[in-house]
Structure 1
Amino acid sequence: MKMDQSSGNIVTQFFAWFAAIAAACGFTTQDMVYMLFGLIGVIISFASYVSGRLDARKARKENEKRTKIVSDYLDDARAKPAHETPAAAKVISDALSKAEV
């Protein structure tokens, strides 16, 4: 009786190579799987951290722009004569003037 000489499919080949590499490194296949999934977890955590920092930086820049726009508007409103200033801007300008003292 002769053994089947087919090389198997790609999944079989992958696991054969994976087991061979694990054995060459001195680990069991189970240890290699744990390390692989641990590495995947570290990569996902790092990507999440970087993404969060980028989002926080973008939000901070947007808030700075918004603050500058409001500040410029109130400075312009403060510089106008009293009868041309909108009522809400006048109240805020007065409050800012008192706060700067």
Structure 2
Amino acid sequence: MAKKTCSQLNNIQQKQICEYYIKNISAKRQNISICISKNTATQNRYKNRGPKYPLIKKAINIWVGQVLATGLVLTDKLVKLKGHEFESLLGISEDELKFSNR
């Protein structure tokens, strides 16, 4: 029996999996297979640190799930605005938190 190996996914691979899952919500994890090319330098970057504020990340993830379930379209700007709203509710100063487009 072949030994299973684990590998870390880069940002583009993670995004492809998320997009596939959104389109195929009933797909099982073991059935998700995607074709991934490794042509650009950015695809080989593995800079995945844990979030500085995991509570905000969790709140945004829940909110995004709720919005997507209603069929509304999300934009980066809207997600950032909601992030700043959570930031304010949790008492985190604006200069402590930076939002990226990732």
Compute the TM-score of the two structures, normalised by the length of structure 1.
Answer: 0.22
Higher helix share: 1
**Higher RCO (C-alpha 8 Å, min separation 6):** 2
Bigger Cα Rg? 1
